[in-house]
Amino acid sequence: MDYEPIKKTLNSLAVPPNFLDYNQICDRFSWEEVRRELDGLPAGKGLNIAHEAVDRHADGLRGNRLAIRWLGTDSTILDFSYADLKKESSRFANLLAGLGVEKGDRVFSLAGRIPELYIAALGILKNGSVFCPLFSAFGPEPVYQRLSKGNARVLLTTRALYKKKIVPLRERLPQLQHVLLTDVEDDLAEGVRSLPKLMAAASTDFSIPSTDPEDPALLHFTSGTTGMPKGAMHVHEAVLTHYLTGKYVLDFHPEDVFWCTADPGWVTGTSYGIIAPLVHGVTNIIDEADFDAMRWYRILEEQKVTVWYTAPTAIRRLMRLDLKPRQEYDLSKLRLIHSVGEPLNPEAVVWGQQVLGLPIHDNWWQTETGGIMIANYPSVEIRPGSMGLPLPGVEAAIIRRPSKNTVNVVEEPGVEGELVLKPGWPSMFRGYLHDKQRYRKCFLSGWYLTGDLAKRDEDGYFWFLGRADDIIKTSGHMVGPFEVESVLMEHPAVAEAGVIGKPDPLIGELVKAFVSLKPGVKPTNRLRLELIGFARKKLGSAVAPKEIEFQENVPKTRSGKIMRRLLKARELGLPEGDISTLEADE
């Protein structure tokens, strides 16, 4: 698994990046300085995400700049300048205030990627209320769980989703006072209102009330990869991280056109699908449609996307297809590609380089961290398979725990251990909803425990090994499923792989792989043996899978993460646990 580092030279970059010398930036770093690059509310009234994202541009030099270009599934295109966005989000804030919705009240959305969702998100933040986005494909029960857990007072949704998912629950949600429907002309019933009507009646002038940087702003549920999703709470100060990562990782420049493919139902779709690009005043592309390779390449071409943020699952889906995007599409404007959500197989980084003409920059973070924490940067060498280096201002380390409550920070390179962060970055979650104990358990000896395992090399690059829960212990070795999955993916027949440990009386756990094949490849016994041999050659027999099972698809969360716990539960005939976030077509 030896991949050459991908070197960067200033000549190889389309524009000079926002920093050249990583170490220098880290040495000089201070969050106070980042704070000074933002405006703050006028008259010293604090810090509000929506002011930084919208109003300051609308009132400044970027008022007419395209803020959001929305691409509908039916090929409609809607454009919003920063000035438009200010007016519309102010209307929404006024509308909320008119309904008696107050600071700190939670306003949920359950909708696809429609313009109203983005306007609402910003209006909610302006009003000092808390934005809680839900993924529109959730069934009624997961919706109920989250709305009731979050004491939703207001819900923005569409008529169809309301009928299908909310009506059956309405009696169980007594605290839900207002449902705002985006696509009805008139109110449907008491408390079920027409959003267009309310918006038309609302004023476009809104003055953001004082907002303390510690005021709650966002509530995000985790992906549910390892169990029941948790509600992570974030505050307005998070915008410092959104801004900083927009500058250093996504490398925003004033004329950029940015496209983040994530849905706001997941933290990436809010932190980077809404906030970060707007805070930088760039153009943010939003596509309503789901993944479609040709459509995606067309969007990159037609919208002249310069910076693209997507996920390993999507990249693996593109890799499966025998397309030649650079010959078939004009991708010449694209200068930077990023990926998050899951480990990015080194094969995918190299594929980017070969097929798209640009390497893919992996970065690591969690719902809890609110923003990117470890990343590959435009000016820094990429080591394929590595998550990169910590964000300037963030201290990451590897620890070992000789006993449950003692922490040894590992200084030597190459040692596997728990990935931890030094608390204190602005977008750190401030708690799990209704679960103080669980929150407290995330901290030990002054570190935040991420629950992931990793190692650091001699130059400070972090390498993901797996989630603590997924690590396989076989014949005295610790095997990270990602390593095995990545090797299987190097085989031309393999589209995707999910690897688990299966209890075995002799060796502790046996490495078992579930493999989905590229279109047209037949799942034969010969291929199975070939894959085992292939993996053995690369990984050695202790680490290579002993069993391989072919599956049409590897089960994933809706945010695109392989659900190894589900593969394991099914393999062992155990209860499947919470599968509210499982992708439906699996």
Name the CA dihedral angle for 159, 165, 166, 172, rounded to a multiple of 10 degrees. Answer: 170
Residue 222 within binding range of ligand ATP, rule CB under 6 A:
yes
Write each residue from 516 to 555 as x if it is in contact with ligand ATP (CB under 6 A), else as -, in one continuous string: ----------------------------------------
User: Which parts of 216-245 interact with Mg ion (CB under 5 A)?
Assistant: 222
**Total residue count of the chain as it appears in this document:** 586
Residue 467 within binding range of ligand ATP, rule CB under 6 A:
yes
Of 224, 273, 392, 481, the one binding ligand ATP (CB under 6 A) is 224
**395 Cβ partners below 8 Å, 6+ apart?**
421, 422
Residue 229 within binding range of ligand ATP, rule CB under 6 A:
yes
Choose among Mg ion, ligand ATP, none what residue 364 binds, the Cβ cut-off being 5 to 8 Å by kind.
ligand ATP
> For 309-370, what is the HEC assignment?
EECHHHHHHHHHCCCCHHHHCCCCCCCEEEECCCCCCHHHHHHHHHHHCCCEEEEECCHHHC
> By CB under 6 A, how many residues form the interface with ligand ATP?
25
Residue 226 within binding range of ligand ATP, rule CB under 6 A:
yes
The minimum distance between CB 66 and Mg ion, in angstroms, equals 35
Residue 379 within binding range of ligand ATP, rule CB under 6 A:
no
Residue 310 within binding range of ligand ATP, rule CB under 6 A:
no
Question: HSE (CB half, 13 Å, CA atoms) of 497?
Answer: 30
The minimum distance between CB 38 and ligand ATP, in angstroms, equals 25
Which one-letter amino acid corresponds to residue 315?
I
Of 271, 345, 363, 580, the one binding ligand ATP (CB under 6 A) is 363
* Residue 552 Rama label (left phi>0; alpha psi -120 to 50; beta): alpha
Q: Which residue stretch of 11-19, 163-171, 353-361, 363-371 sits at the interface with ligand ATP (rule: CB under 6 A)?
A: 363-371
Rounded-to-integer distance, Cα 375 and Cα 246, Å: 12
Query: At CA 407, angle to CA 401 and CA 411, rounded to 5?
Result: 95
The residue among 222 and 379 lying less far from Mg ion, judged by its C-beta, is 222
The minimum distance between CB 337 and ligand ATP, in angstroms, equals 13
Residue 464 within binding range of ligand ATP, rule CB under 6 A:
yes
End-to-end CA gap in the chain: 30
The minimum distance between CB 217 and ligand ATP, in angstroms, equals 17
Rounded-to-integer distance, Cα 256 and Cα 475, Å: 51
Choose among Mg ion, ligand ATP, none what residue 464 binds, the Cβ cut-off being 5 to 8 Å by kind.
ligand ATP
Q: Which residue stretch of 207-215, 360-368, 425-433, 472-480 sits at the interface with ligand ATP (rule: CB under 6 A)?
A: 360-368
Concatenated DSSP letters for 209-233? PPB-TTSEEEEEE---SSSS--EEE
Rounded-to-integer distance, Cα 341 and Cα 579, Å: 18
- Identify the DSSP state of 388: B
User: Which parts of 321-350 interact with ligand ATP (CB under 6 A)?
Assistant: 340-344
Residue 452 within binding range of ligand ATP, rule CB under 6 A:
yes
β-pair type (360-364, 336-339): parallel
Q: Which residue stretch of 57-65, 225-233, 318-326, 409-417 sits at the interface with ligand ATP (rule: CB under 6 A)?
A: 225-233
Residue 387 within binding range of ligand ATP, rule CB under 6 A:
yes
What are the structure tokens assigned to 450, written together? 């991420």
Nearest Cα to Cα of residue 324 among 359, 356, 291, 292: 356
- Identify the DSSP state of 189: B
The minimum distance between CB 547 and ligand ATP, in angstroms, equals 24
Rounded-to-integer distance, Cα 133 and Cα 107, Å: 8
The minimum distance between CB 200 and Mg ion, in angstroms, equals 42
Q: Which residue stretch of 8-16, 193-201, 219-227, 566-574 sits at the interface with ligand ATP (rule: CB under 6 A)?
A: 219-227
What are the structure tokens assigned to 54, written together? 């919208």
Residue 236 within binding range of ligand ATP, rule CB under 6 A:
no
The residue among 223 and 379 lying less far from Mg ion, judged by its C-beta, is 223
Is the separation of the CB atoms in 514 and 567 below 8 Å? Answer: yes
The residue among 223 and 284 lying less far from ligand ATP, judged by its C-beta, is 223
Q: Exposed, middle or buried: residue 460 (CB in 10 Å: 0-12, 13-18, 19+)?
A: middle
Nearest Cα to Cα of residue 104 among 131, 143, 85, 70: 131
Residue 364 within binding range of ligand ATP, rule CB under 6 A:
yes
The residue among 97 and 563 lying less far from Mg ion, judged by its C-beta, is 563
Of 366, 379, 516, 580, the one binding ligand ATP (CB under 6 A) is 366
> By CB under 5 A, how many residues form the interface with Mg ion?
1
Query: Interface residues with Mg ion (CB under 5 A)?
Result: 222
Query: Interface residues with ligand ATP (CB under 6 A)?
Result: 222-227, 229-230, 340-344, 362-364, 366-367, 387, 450, 452, 464, 467, 559, 561
